[in-house]
Copies of this chain bind each other. A is one copy, B any other.
């Protein structure tokens, strides 16, 4: 007897999980003709390969016995310490080493927070739309996501307060709120200073914890930096997630969590059971790259590279796209957000785009509470300059044809972003 299926044995929580559309789309990148604006990959040209070679030589020459060994669950102490101090120097949010835990990328931070806080059915607040990987982590822990509409300045404080009042009446206090306040994935939208303060005020009033996910904050091309929510966290309500994936190299899988010590201790126990520790070699490389002052000068190079690519994509959009399509111009990050006419469903259009060797991510999966059928996310960091120009041309042709075919159809709903 050969077992044909394990379906009846899988857990309830695992049956809630679906494969991320984005991760599945990564597989399309392998076709040589395909130009993909899907995914959220950094550009390999943004990896400081030549600068990392002597860093690795140094790690192997001087620290190999530790860098190849198991480490503590909390992470490499020198790295924790330099991050703790760096959060003061660069973010105005100084930490102690005991407030820092190294994660296997930010995604593990999201998963560990979910594990430590969420019982099945617990409420989590997010933006509508929000980062898909966060939705995946919350759903994997059987959370119920309640999403607040965002506009071109991010989450709308009035709507947040309305939602909290409503949940309060139903005695459904959210376990935490999740935000990407700067260059949000998927929309690229940044919450301005004043609105951050207003949101924090509401959080205090309603006794709410915030998970502040900040993978793109340092990738600012122009304009004034907005302060971290963590930087005015007098009430210790903010769990901050940082990562080296977008500013150094994702292949190391090194991110961090900055949080009150009680939470770090709890998360550390959960991480023990999950993977014992983050890979030591990557942690040592990241630390040495910071120690030898490679990281911050390199970030400037990435910013210059991505600024050029954003401008190139926006120029191409302006040249080739029909007027009925709108998009934003974020001051940093990896993504543009496009809104089509209401009668366009970007999911229905996707096979046609792929047929024409251009890929994007449909907006709808980013909306936990529904909506966004006529939106898409475009990534400008990964493609080459030539691909950006050619890919936008291809996509413009697909969209024009699709608009011609669908014009006059009735809109399914309406989305006001950006």
Chain A positions near chain B (C-beta within 8 angstroms):
1-3, 5-7, 9-14, 17-20, 23, 26-27, 41-42, 44, 47, 49, 52-53, 56-57, 60, 64-73, 103-105, 107-108, 111, 115-119, 122, 133, 136-137, 139-141, 175, 204, 209, 234-237, 245, 249-253, 260, 262-263, 266, 268-270, 272-282, 285
Contacts and interface: CB of A to CB of B under 8 A. Distances in A.
Contacts of A17: 269-270, 272-273
B56 A60 contact: yes
Nearest to A44: B65
A347 to B, nearest CB: 20
A274 to B, nearest CB: 5
Contacts of A72: 23, 26-27
Contacts of A234: 2
B69 A6 contact: no
17 contacts: A1-B235, A6-B209, A6-B262, A7-B262, A14-B116, A18-B269, A19-B269, A23-B73, A23-B276, A26-B70, A26-B72, A44-B65, A44-B68, A47-B65, A47-B68, A68-B250, A107-B273
A70 B47 contact: no
A339 B185 CA distance: 57
A275 to B, nearest CB: 4
A71 B253 CA distance: 10
A141 B11 CA distance: 10
A68 B251 contact: yes
